[in-house]
Homo-oligomer: A and B are copies of this chain.
Amino acid sequence: MTIAKKIQSSIKNSSLIRKMFEEGARMKAEIGEENVFDFSLGNPNLEPPPKFKDVLLDLINDPVPGRHGYMPNAGFPETRQAVADFLSRNNRAEFASGDVVMTTGAGGALNVILKTIIDPGDEVIIPSPYFVEYNFYLDNHQGIPRIVPTKNDFSLDLAAIEDALCEKTKAVLINSPNNPTGKVYSEEELSGLGRLMEKAGKKFSRNIYLISDEPYRKIVYDGIRSPSIFDIYNESIVATSFSKDLSLPGERIGYAAINPAISERDIVSSGMILSNRILGFVNAPGLMQRAVPYLLDVSVDISPYQKNRDILCEALERFGYRFVKPQGAFYLFPETPIKDDVQFTSILKEENILTVPGSAFACPGHIRIAYCTSQKTVERSLPGFERAMRKVMKKP
């Protein structure tokens, strides 16, 4: 073997989510797309809002020279300013364009942030269940994940986080609304977390950053609001994207935003701009950057997701599944009726239902159901969920 050792072993243990996605493609080819109930990937079923198309057409027909050329690595100044203004409108703090770095999606933003702050061996505390891709993102920059399970209702276990905070902690990385649980952390939880981190920062004489990965911020139900971490903890940086609220995951457009109250604000900003450049992103895709100022207050209509959630929750509860009702995102994370979650996903696959085992989120004994599908897919899958439950319940 001649490629890097780490990559060799990672290929073997490759993403369970992606494997399911590919298995799904195979099944669809075999038995027809409409007969596979694919809840494996968080690939939004809704099309982008109509305004997105109008904005793109306007931009392409607008003959500004150099619009596909290089711009500053942080992005077009007018795009950064528009995002800063949007953030100032939606948070107590006043943002400047320098606080915003346009990135290739939230995945790009997270790598830019981690590259900027992580020295080799630094620890990052992550509440679980969590998007395990974070492990790779940390490893890219020689950071170490320190996984801390959440409570049974998937809320933050502050006592456990307090125990995990140590002289090696460089950051806490949260994701709310959460993938895979749909949990939205409350203002109270986050304030508690902020107080712990402040105390630990003083104790260990170092800044501890709160990184908030929040691409699902606008996808919340029942009138709930995702609290702003900017208003809660000074040393905070947000990573986000337009992938979910505008249904654009393939276009790779997002941003990182620095709390204006952060220590060494200019240095953090310069570091992130440098990282965006040297990681090979160079800059976020130009055309999409130019569309962003027109779309900041736009969002897909999330009522179809809410409808799917309600149909699923009502039916699965009736079938005997146990779960915490999601408050946001488009994932349901029920317990599996048997201990072995991988085996239960196989049983569901016999019903042509594709889900991802909780093991893929460091939380076995669960499955993730990504309900960002058509309502028909949800409805037609229900008998399969019921049969799967009956199948395992009959066994001793």
The interface residues of chain B lying within 8 Å CB-to-CB of A93 are none
The interface residues of chain B lying within 8 Å CB-to-CB of A328 are none
- A301 close to chain B: CB less than 8 A: no
**26 pairs, A vs B, C-beta closer than 8 Å:** A1-B267, A2-B207, A2-B264, A4-B116, A4-B119, A4-B141, A7-B117, A7-B271, A7-B274, A11-B274, A18-B277, A43-B66, A68-B250, A68-B251, A70-B249, A70-B250, A104-B282, A105-B282, A110-B280, A112-B280, A133-B278, A140-B140, A251-B286, A252-B282, A252-B286, A287-B287
The interface residues of chain B lying within 8 Å CB-to-CB of A140 are 115, 140, 278-280
Distance between A122 CB and nearest chain B CB, rounded to angstroms: 8
Distance between A143 CB and nearest chain B CB, rounded to angstroms: 10
Mark A1-26 against chain B: 1 for CB-CB distance below 8 A, else 0.
11111111011001100100010000
Q: Are A4 and B271 in contact (CB under 8 A)?
A: yes
Distance between A330 CB and nearest chain B CB, rounded to angstroms: 13
- A315 close to chain B: CB less than 8 A: no
Number of copies: 2
- A162 close to chain B: CB less than 8 A: no
Task: Say which residue of B11, B71, B104, B105 sits within 8 Å of A267 (CB atoms).
Answer: B11
Q: Are B271 and A104 in contact (CB under 8 A)?
A: no
Q: How many angstroms from the CA of A242 to the CA of B173 in the assembled complex?
A: 36
Residue of B nearest to A262 (CB): B2
Q: How many angstroms from the CA of A6 to the CA of B274 in the assembled complex?
A: 11
Residue of B nearest to A281 (CB): B104
Q: Check A69/B271 contact, CB under 8 A, given A110-B280, A252-B104, A279-B140.
A: no
Q: Are B278 and A281 in contact (CB under 8 A)?
A: no
- A137 close to chain B: CB less than 8 A: yes
- A195 close to chain B: CB less than 8 A: no
Residue of B nearest to A206 (CB): B2
